[in-house]
Amino acid sequence: MKNEEKKPIQTFRPYNIAHRGSNGEIPEETAAAYLRAIEEGADFIETDILASKDGALICFHDVTLDETTDVARHKEFANRRRTYEVEWFNVTGWFVVDFTLEELKTLKVKQRYSFRDQQYNGMFSIITFEEFISIALDADRTVGIYPEIKDPVFINKHVKWAGGKKFEDKFVDTLLKYGYKGQYLSENWLKQPLFIQSFAPTSIVHVSKLIDSPKVFLIDDITVRTQDTNQSYWEITSDDYLAYIGKYIVGLGPWKDTIIPAAGNYLMPPSDLVARAHAHNLQVHPYTYRNENQFLHFNFHQDPYAEYDFWMNTVGVDGLFTDFTGTLYRYQELTSPHRKDETANSLLLKISQMISAYEGL
């Protein structure tokens, strides 16, 4: 199916960003999780890109394999545990960068959280960046991709490519290979929507020289310094810094509790980050929205619809990273349904009703 024939991506309401796929249901960053997210109505499927020992780009969140794969059960890899510095801290585990792609493909992925459905554990493998892109491009409607340049300082330290290329270069090469290009809302972008995301401002600046697709600067908890420039949360959210980084990005991706802090699981007074970002003409796509009670602040009475209503209609965000794509889609279809879904008959009926109301005046 040609892109021109596909139903276009919606741009009239906040973006439904499937965080690591529909990972509330199916183990994260697997083909099945992404296919489920598309089925449930995602505008974008989101992923984290890391690199294997032999330079293959893969979809995986942690630099270690311990939490979400069965690597500990593979006796042949028992001697691969290492301790490396990651984002200013020493971490011990089985690291992605110590395995070839072929070896990584022998592992099976499992659900991160014990309170989520465990029935799919051991059924799916790690996928490559190219396999992820193919899932989006093969969808029967236009589905955007939202890949993150994950831990670039760590990856560039441990993985080397021919010709002196960096992790960020290989990342962009892959996007260009599959035809991704174009500024936000351009004709090319609408055909193959893409947001590039990173916590590392130097990576954002570097890839801006290589591709004109829109970038989003991710922001962590207020206690976390940037992994590359060692800047504080307060520095990178200052108006001066937003003016600087705003030359390279179209939006911010903050952790939602940095926008509105919580205490005792109740929301505190909001910061002005969204208002200031909007004043700099930047979108705001917070993360991560999850259905489970332990993730829902008490203000929302254990109702994810109430949380979405608050963030979209009171806070005014422009996109949301969610573990439960279907829940966000159903909420949006109830409150701001797809206008393009109207049939010719329903439009004629509306016109008829409007004429009748006018004639009755």
Digit-coded pLDDT (tens) for 243-264:
999 999 999 999 999 999 999 9
Q: What is the pLDDT of residues 330-346, one digit of tens each?
A: 999 999 998 754 545 55
Q: State the pLDDT at residue 87.
A: 93
**85 domain residue, yes or no:** no
- Distance between CA atoms of 19 and 289, rounded to whole angstroms? 9
Q: What is the pLDDT of residues 149-187, one digit of tens each?
A: 999 999 999 999 999 999 999 999 999 999 999 999 999
**80 domain residue, yes or no:** no
Which residues form the domain of 32? 15-60+124-335
**Residue appearing with tokens 């005014």:** 316
Are 129 and 57 a contacting pair, CB within 8 Å? yes
**68 domain residue, yes or no:** no
- Distance between CA atoms of 320 and 164, rounded to whole angstroms? 36
Are 19 and 302 a contacting pair, CB within 8 Å? no
**How many Cβ atoms sit within 10 Å of the Cβ of residue 242?**
20
> In Å, how far from its chain's centre is CA 239?
25
Return the CATH number at 316: 3.20.20.190
**109 domain residue, yes or no:** no
Q: What is the pLDDT of residues 315-331, one digit of tens each?
A: 999 999 999 999 999 99
Q: Is 264 left (phi over 0), alpha (psi -120 to 50) or beta?
A: left
**195 domain residue, yes or no:** yes
Domain count, the chain: 1
CA-wise closest residue to 47 among 19, 14, 26, 17: 19
**Mean pLDDT rounded to a whole number for the chain:** 95
**69 domain residue, yes or no:** no
Peptide bond into 288 cis (omega under 30): yes
**Residue 140: both structure tokens together:** 């029967």
Q: State the pLDDT at residue 338.
A: 82
Q: What is the mean pLDDT of residues 16-28?
A: 98
The identity of residue 29, as a single letter, is E
**361 domain residue, yes or no:** no
**91 domain residue, yes or no:** no
**How many Cβ atoms sit within 10 Å of the Cβ of residue 14?**
22
